[in-house]
Amino acid sequence: MKKIKLNHLIYFIAAISIIILGMSAYKAKQSHENKLYLVLHKKIKERALECYLKQECEGKITLGDLYQKNYLDELFDPVTKEKMDNNICIEYINEEVYFC
């Protein structure tokens, strides 16, 4: 009888360990993807700021405008590996660059 209870305890501990490892892996993956997007957005904002400070851009611009003015090479989504939409809107307000 004790051997059966010991087997159940071993299975329970293994199941809990698998659940914890799975949740940790998922959280690490999500954190990594979020950091990839932060880097991409920062790169876009820095290049847009450069364009605004050189007064080559005014008002609302798009990612396509930055491509045409050679501030950026073609960008790809870091997670899905698809080409970024050229219609992403960017504007310069109070010395800060924001996505519209």
pLDDT tens digits, 10-46? 999 999 999 999 999 999 999 999 999 999 999 999 9
Distance CA 11, CA 4 (A): 11
Kindly provide the residue ranges of all beta strands, DSSP E only, lying in the chain, ordered along the sequence. Answer: 60-62, 89-93, 96-99
pLDDT tens digits, 43-73? 999 999 999 999 998 889 999 999 999 999 9
100 has pLDDT over 90 = no
C-beta of residue 58 within 8 angstroms of C-beta of residue 80: no
Domain-wise residue ranges, the chain: 2-99
C-beta of residue 22 within 8 angstroms of C-beta of residue 35: no
